[in-house]
Structure 1
Amino acid sequence: MSGRLQGRRAIVVGGGQTPGATTGNGRAVVLSFAREGAQVLVVDRDLDSAEESAELVRKEGGTATAHRADITVEDECAGILDAALAVLGHVDVLHNNVGVVPAGRTEDLGAQTWRQGFEVNLTSMWLTCKAVLPHMRQRRSGAIVNISSMAGLLAGGEAIAYTTSKAAVHAMTRSLALEYAPHGIRVNCIAPGMMDTPMGVDAPARAEGSSREDVAAKRAALVPMGHQGTCWDVANAALFLASQEAAFITGTVLAVDGGFTLTSRMS
């Protein structure tokens, strides 16, 4: 540990973990931030899962507190800031890591599925930013890191709700970055590619009735570097963007994808 976030206070939204799954992006970010000195408020819809992440931090000697919130509810997003101020004192970093994968061709996609994709992938992220930004603006300091997807950089006819909502996250990130740069606040986005995570591998394996190993091998074969990334690749990128090492970086969409978006389209 080098203390890259020493003394910093961070909110990690989606910092829990799917029960029984391998470590995902949210939990990896919680652990990485804490290992680099941050005090963390771990936010998740599943309080037990958030508490598991917080307990892992505490076992390593770090400081973390769990908080339950449904970020599709505006009042609960406001409550995240209240909880953070109560346990952390102030907020330096907001990390947004919640998403769903609405699938379906345009003609087959239901309006409710479309709306849910935007509600979870975009609107909820806007609500957490909206809740925390006045506090950061008052302090004239802050870093926001949004997790999106390579899907927002590619076309995907059978995943139109997903690709469109993720592209909207990129646009929102750039707009927030421009709006709040004069107030000392940086807003950036990470677009993960083929990652060996619960959402990337476990969920498709269950849906297809395939083994995890088969799905992972198929995904790895699509990546120019020859393998999938891991949650720690995403966490390392988030750590960089949240730290002072990225003090002059705002409004960027950082692809963490092993070169996938250079050669491919969504399938």
Structure 2
Amino acid sequence: MVDRLKDKVAIVFGAGGPPGEWSNGKATSVAFGREGAAVVCVDRIAEAAEEAAQVIRAEGHQAIAVVAEVTETEQVNRAVQVGIEHFGRVDILHNNVGVASPGGPLELDDAAFQRTMDINVGSVHRTVRAVLPHFLKQGSGAIVNVSSLAAIRWSGYSYFAYYASKAAVNHATVAIALQYAEKGIRANAIMPGVIDTPLVYKQISAQYSSVEEMVAARSRAVPMKRPGSPWDIAGAAVFLASDEANFITGVCLPVDGGHACVMPGLV
């Protein structure tokens, strides 16, 4: 389908990715553009934001790049304001920022725990706070937060702060959805399972003897026996942001090849 987001403006926090590679955020930004949205591509790395915007523009769609750090309120507010000044409005907020600090309760110090919570949950607070006045004024808006399957189940990795933060993202999404449901504002979360993204190779591969072993082990854990791709996350994000989902709010949607439905060790 095309034009499911026609005449809408989307702002994507975490829109970048490694040069020439596809992250969840970059794929979602491009998917939004392909469906007719004008896209504000926000990333803390200027080159990453610009690359995402360039891909969208090269395909004949509208996009701008904005640099912002999601832990800085003023930068988040400015990114939203720049998008509104350029495109005249904002209709969709997509949050795709996250970090996984390794370690359990004994290994994590206060700084690492707080940093993970500030980035993963604090980013949702800051970005939602920045767009809500505009959504309330126009009586509509769609928020899509990228959480994780780790919000609801053990992933096999020792990431205590990540589990806690993504569980908080889930419930924060539900709280936003219910508080503003009567105002025409929807909020949903996506919980990616085993997705083949560049970040996985940086943050998880060291726990295996080889990249091949990591890919094989992760694939075995999924009922479909393969990882998903960033485009699977992008497809879910487009649907939840579109009017096709206009009666869907407060949902935390697994995009995981059935992973959430099975007991560990039984796939």
Shorter-chain TM-score above 0.5: yes
Partner Cα separation in structure 1 for residue 204 and residue 120 of structure 2 = 18
Q: Which sections of structure 1, spanning at least 5 residues, go unmatched?
A: none
Partner Cα separation in structure 2 for residue 10 and residue 125 of structure 1 = 15
Q: CA deviation at 1:111?
A: 0.9
8 Å CA contact 2:173–2:189 kept in 1: the answer is yes
Question: SS at the partner of 1:177?
Answer: helix
Q: CA deviation at 1:18?
A: 2.4
Cα deviation code 1:225-245 (max 9, x no counterpart): 111100000000000000000
Partner Cα separation in structure 2 for residue 158 and residue 202 of structure 1 = 16
Give me the TM-score of the superposition, normalised by structure 2. 0.95
Q: CA deviation at 1:209?
A: 6.9
Task: Give the structure 2 partner of residue 81 of structure 1.
Answer: 80
2:237 counterpart of 1:238: yes
Task: Give the structure 2 partner of residue 48 of structure 1.
Answer: 47
The residue identity in structure 1 corresponding to 2:13 is V
Partner Cα separation in structure 2 for residue 146 and residue 210 of structure 1 = 33
Listed as ranges, the matches of 1:77-226 within 5 Å are 77-155=76-154, 158-205=158-205, 207-208=206-207, 210-226=209-225
The residue identity in structure 2 corresponding to 1:54 is A
8 Å CA contact 2:19–2:51 kept in 1: the answer is no
Question: SS at the partner of 1:161?
Answer: helix
The residue identity in structure 2 corresponding to 1:24 is S
Question: SS at the partner of 1:166?
Answer: helix
Listed as ranges, the matches of 1:15-94 within 5 Å are 15-19=15-19, 22-94=21-93
8 Å CA contact 1:202–1:212 kept in 2: the answer is no
Task: Give the structure 1 partner of residue 2 of structure 2.
Answer: 2
8 Å CA contact 1:106–1:158 kept in 2: the answer is no
- Kindly report the root-mean-square deviation, in angstroms, between the aligned alpha carbons of the 2 structures: 1.6
User: Percent identity at matched positions?
Assistant: 43
Q: Which sections of structure 2, spanning at least 5 residues, go unmatched?
A: none
Number of residue pairs matched? 264
Partner Cα separation in structure 2 for residue 180 and residue 170 of structure 1 = 16
Q: CA deviation at 1:16?
A: 0.6
Question: SS at the partner of 1:18?
Answer: coil
The residue identity in structure 2 corresponding to 1:82 is Q
8 Å CA contact 1:43–1:69 kept in 2: the answer is yes
Q: For structure 1, which segment, 71-80 or 186-195, has the greater mean C-alpha deviation from structure 2 after superposition?
A: 71-80
Q: For structure 1, which segment, 33-42 or 101-110, has the greater mean C-alpha deviation from structure 2 after superposition?
A: 101-110
8 Å CA contact 1:201–1:216 kept in 2: the answer is no
Q: CA deviation at 1:100?
A: 0.2
